[in-house]
Structure 1
Amino acid sequence: MLKQRVITALILVAILLPTLAAQAAWPFAILTLVFISAAGWEWSRLNEAPGARAVMMGAAVAGACLFVAQSLGLSVWGAQLSAVSESVGHVHGWGHPLVGFATPAVIWLVAVAVWVPGGAAVLRFGTEYWKQVPQLLRRLLGLGLLMLAWLALVESKAQGLNYLLSVFCLVWAADIGAYFGGRAFGKNKLAPSISPGKSWEGVWSGMLAVALLSVIWIWIDRNIGVDAPSLYSRLLMGLGPAGMLVALAFLAAMSVVGDLFESLIKRQAGAKDSSQLLPGHGGVLDRIDALLPVLPLSLALMTLCHG
């Protein structure tokens, strides 16, 4: 199993790295579109719509992503993404995009409205009522969440590799911190009916790991040449130290919500993994569940920051 995991990981890294290094937008946009479409296929299968309906769901996710990107003026084929005109100037407040951001901020505010109260409701009532939600509505929800995540991926890549990696590493640090903190100190179960292994102590440990990571990354931003400010530096500049820590704790918490949400869906479907598309790792959803809320919500927080 370990050998299989390592081989799959190396293949994925070998595919991903050239798209991250490319100056053009399209290699990363298309690769991530393939993965997000596969996640749509998995979502459909986990929600009682396998076979041809799952294939149609994957195609619908890809089509919706490209249609919305085109409608918003995001160029996924050209040398780089279209950016907001420099004449707009800096603004500071909910709903206003930063200079250099192409996607209207209202998109990310919709993500906040969906993920924060919606995530809380699903985790509170999902074990009882998730399967009672009409199948079509569940599939439409999945389409919307996956589309928001892909748009956020493309926008984050346009902000610079350092920015994108800082968002990825936030999720990984929260997960690693939660794992080791939970093993060492975990006593109070977080959501035993969904994921018995998770504890509140793990959540706090994940938040602490993210805070420590932010300190290291801000030092790197200031002392080593990077292509763009990281998420942490932008939050620090825009919100101050206390505001940055609150924002990072919020994102770390939402990464847990994303993880638990996917675990709930799998439990309701009686599945251990979302699929076997990634040998040794399960499915695509298993790998990106925590990123689904964090990617768009991190961009929502950027509307509060100068940068």
Structure 2
Amino acid sequence: MLKQRVITAIVLLALLLPALFASSPWPFAILTLLLIGAAGWEWGRLNAAADAAIAMGVLLALGGADAMWLGWTSQPPAWLWWPVALAWVAGGALALRGGPAGWPAVPLGVRWVLGLAMLWVAWLAIAHARHLGINFILSVFCLVWMADIAAYFGGRAFGRRKLAPTISPGKSWEGVWTGMAGVIALAFVWRWIDATQPVDSQSLYTRMAAAWGVAGMVGGVVLLAAMSVVGDLFESLVKRAAGAKDSSNLLPGHGGVLDRVDALLPVFPIAIALATT
């Protein structure tokens, strides 16, 4: 299993890093669109789409291609991000409150449309983040990774109270708090990097501090850390409702694409909303 994980990670990095650091944002947008199309197929399989799951993935990829043709990866509709952010906060809370038992009660058509919309908007936010600059997109990715890593170690060291035992028994409230502390520290370090090092663009943290003040930046990163947990728990909820351990086996040793991007789905649209106000 470890060998598979390492090989898969190397292959993914060999594809993603050249696309990310290319002089044009298009290679990264196209590659991530292919991955999101695969995630659309996984979503269909997890939500009883059967043979229609492939069609859902293709439809999602075509929707992304249409957005690229319209120029939305560089200039997306300005009104889009805040409604999506509010939908994630409210909808995420409702879904987690219902738990795995409540998810199958949502009509299939609603689940399919919800999943496609969620994935499409997340991809558009990721593609737009790359257009805003490499420093910016890396600052968002690293926020999610820091929240996850700090929560893991904090949970192992201090975890006592279970966060969502019916969805993800390994997560604890103490892990959530340490994850939030980690992203706050990251925000201040990254602002120092922005101020002292040559970077191609402002980071998420510098943009939020300029728009909302330092206190607003701290509140923003805490919100984003919390929403990364919501994204993770939401995907776990859907998998438990479907009786699946992983979203697929597309990434040997890692599960599926959804398993790797679940925390990113709410974070990127909300980050764009907070950074481009």
Post-superposition shift, 1:186? 0.7
Which residue in the other structure is 2:168 paired with?
195
Post-superposition shift, 1:5? 0.8
Cα deviation digits, residues 233-265 of structure 1 (max 9, x gap): 111222121111100000000000000000000
From 106, 109, 121, the equivalent of 1:133 is 106
Taking the aligned partners of 1:215 and 1:120, their CA distance within structure 2 comes to 29
Cα deviation digits, residues 113-142 of structure 1 (max 9, x gap): 320100000000132321011111101000
The equivalences for 1:179-194 within 5 A come to 179-194=152-167
Letter of the structure 2 residue corresponding to residue 106 of structure 1: W
Taking the aligned partners of 1:120 and 1:264, their CA distance within structure 2 comes to 12
Structure 2 counterpart SS, 1:106 = coil
Work out whether residues 99 and 167 of structure 2, in 8 Å CA contact, stay in contact via their aligned partners in 1.
no
1:248 matched to 2:197: no
Which residue in the other structure is 1:98 paired with?
none
Which residue in the other structure is 2:34 paired with?
34
Taking the aligned partners of 2:217 and 2:126, their CA distance within structure 1 comes to 21
Which residue in the other structure is 2:23 paired with?
23
Structure 1 counterpart SS, 2:80 = helix
Taking the aligned partners of 2:23 and 2:82, their CA distance within structure 1 comes to 29
The equivalences for 1:95-114 within 5 A come to 102-114=75-87
1:209 matched to 2:187: no
Structure 1 counterpart SS, 2:166 = coil
Post-superposition shift, 1:23? 1.7
Post-superposition shift, 1:21? 1.6
1:294 matched to 2:228: no
Taking the aligned partners of 2:60 and 2:22, their CA distance within structure 1 comes to 24
Q: Which has the higher helix share?
A: 2
Which residue in the other structure is 2:241 paired with?
268
Structure 1 counterpart SS, 2:249 = coil
1:8 matched to 2:8: yes
Letter of the structure 2 residue corresponding to residue 62 of structure 1: A
Post-superposition shift, 1:147? 0.4
Q: Which runs of 5+ in 2 are unaligned?
A: none
Q: Which runs of 5+ in 1 are unaligned?
A: 76-80, 82-101
Post-superposition shift, 1:104? 2.1
Which residue in the other structure is 1:74 paired with?
72
Structure 1 counterpart SS, 2:224 = helix
Letter of the structure 1 residue corresponding to residue 174 of structure 2: E
Taking the aligned partners of 2:276 and 2:18, their CA distance within structure 1 comes to 30
Structure 1 counterpart SS, 2:169 = strand
Moved more, 56-65 or 138-147: 56-65
Identity %: 58
Post-superposition shift, 1:290? 0.2
Taking the aligned partners of 1:24 and 1:270, their CA distance within structure 2 comes to 41
Which residue in the other structure is 1:84 paired with?
none
Cα deviation digits, residues 265-301 of structure 1 (max 9, x gap): 0001111111110011110000000000000000111
Cα deviation digits, residues 58-89 of structure 1 (max 9, x gap): 00111122224434x336xxxxx4xxxxxxxx
The equivalences for 1:212-223 within 5 A come to 212-223=185-196
Structure 2 counterpart SS, 1:49 = coil
Structure 1 counterpart SS, 2:111 = helix
Taking the aligned partners of 2:266 and 2:65, their CA distance within structure 1 comes to 20
Moved more, 295-304 or 284-293: 295-304
RMSD across aligned positions (CA): 1.2
Which residue in the other structure is 2:123 paired with?
150
Taking the aligned partners of 2:157 and 2:28, their CA distance within structure 1 comes to 38
1:279 matched to 2:277: no
